[in-house]
Amino acid sequence: MTATMIDGKAFAAGLRERVGAAAATFTARAGRRPGLAVVLVGEDAASAVYVRSKGKATVASGMESIEHRLPADTTQDALIALVDALNADDAVDGILVQLPLPRHIDEQAVLIRIDPDKDVDGFHPVNAGRLATGMDGLVPCTPLGCILLLKDRHASLSGMEAVVIGRSNIVGKPMAQLLLKESCTVTTVHSRTRDVAGHVRRADIVVAAVGIPAFVRADWVKPGATVIDVGINRTDAGLVGDVDPAAAEVAGAMTPVPGGVGPMTIAVLMRNTLVAAHRRAGLPAPEGL
């Protein structure tokens, strides 16, 4: 058996196209474009690349890109004051503070200051609570992207055994909540789990988000399982995921690295910004996103 490769790049392109069409409709109805404000503090090279990519994607989707680039010595109080100003700005539907922040700034203190209804990263405790209790909220981009890929692959996820490897607030925890929402039976494994391999071998769906190159071995994967590899690890051999590529000989479907989950993150960020704009304008959520 050779796994079907799940083309996240193609799916993300389609999602961004649908977002662009829905953004044009929103602009016609609301009399303004949806607005995404991105805040970058300091000169971290990788963060600067991400911010540029997000800005280009925002403009390409027919939305307003608002960038604030602050020096590395910006104080926490000054950053929070900017967040407060963006919260109060009616032209801003989404606020994203690019992480990591300089060490002298408390990331959590900044993130919880963002208006939950503009928190397009989905990291605010209010949005985490909404997700956990089944309420409508903004969901972290990467796990939501994973769910969209899974639902495109399977007509229904109901009743499937799912294992999430990793328990971060950014991917692992919201991923487990989204799978529960789809009526999967969900197990979260982590660094203290006994017999990780045994749990993975039972899974119809495996989502690997642990940040260790080739952590999931091919002989752990149940034949025919769907494997979503969230890992992006830079090694001497190039970019590799959290799953041994040999798992493709066992799995039924698998995301490649690169080209799998990665492209979905910015596409879902565009989707979240558009959803936030609709909610703030009192309009029904756009369909098909």
- String of DSSP letters for 251-262: -SEE--TTTSSH
What is the number of domains present in the chain?
Answer: 2
Is the same domain home to 191 and 102?
Answer: no
Say if 186 falls within a structural domain: yes
pLDDT value of position 1: 64
- Structure-block tokens of residue 155: 């007509």
By the 10 Å C-beta count (0-12 exposed, 13-18 middle, 19+ buried), 20 is classed as middle
Three-class SS of residue 38? strand
* 232: its two tokens: 């992006």
CA distance 245 to 256: 8
250 and 193 inside one domain: yes
146 with 257, same domain? yes
Domain span at residue 62? 31-124
Do 100 and 198 belong to one domain?
no
Same domain, 149 and 93: no
Cα–Cα distance, 176 to 81 (Å, whole number) = 34
Which residues are identified as catalytic?
54, 98, 121
**230 in Cβ contact with 209 (< 8 Å):** yes
Assess if residue 130 is contained within a domain. no
Same domain, yes or no: 153 and 59: no
Same domain? 150 vs 257: yes
Residue 55 phi/psi, 5-degree rounding, is -65, -45
Query: Within a domain: residue 215?
Result: yes
Q: Supply the pLDDT for residue 287.
A: 87
Residue written as tokens 């879902």?
268
Helices 141-153 & 172-181 angle (0-180, nearest 10): 40
Residue 135 located in a structural domain:
no
Residues in the chain predicted with pLDDT less than 70, given as ranges, are: 1
Token pair, residue 67, equals 């960038």
Same domain, 164 and 254: yes
Same domain, 100 and 180: no
Give pTM, 2 decimals: 0.95
Q: Does 197 map to a domain?
A: yes
The answer to the question of residue 289 being in a domain is no
Do residues 108 and 176 both lie within one domain? no
Kindly report, residue by residue over 272-281, the tens digit of the pLDDT: 999 999 999 9
User: What is the CATH classification number for the domain harbouring 106?
Assistant: 3.40.50.10860
CA 256 to CA 268: how far, in whole Å? 18
Rounded to whole angstroms, how far apart are CA atoms 99 and 101?
5
CATH of residue 236's domain is 3.40.50.720
Dump pLDDT digits (tens) for 123-166: 999 999 999 999 999 999 999 999 999 999 999 999 999 999 99
Both 161 and 252 in one domain: the answer is yes
95 within a domain of the structure (yes/no) = yes
Looking at the fold, whether 146 and 76 belong to one and the same domain comes out as no
What does 67-120 look like in DSSP terms, one character per residue? EEEE-TT--HHHHHHHHHHHHH-TT-SEEEEPSSPPTTS-HHHHHTTS-GGGBT
Residue 90 falls inside a structural domain? yes
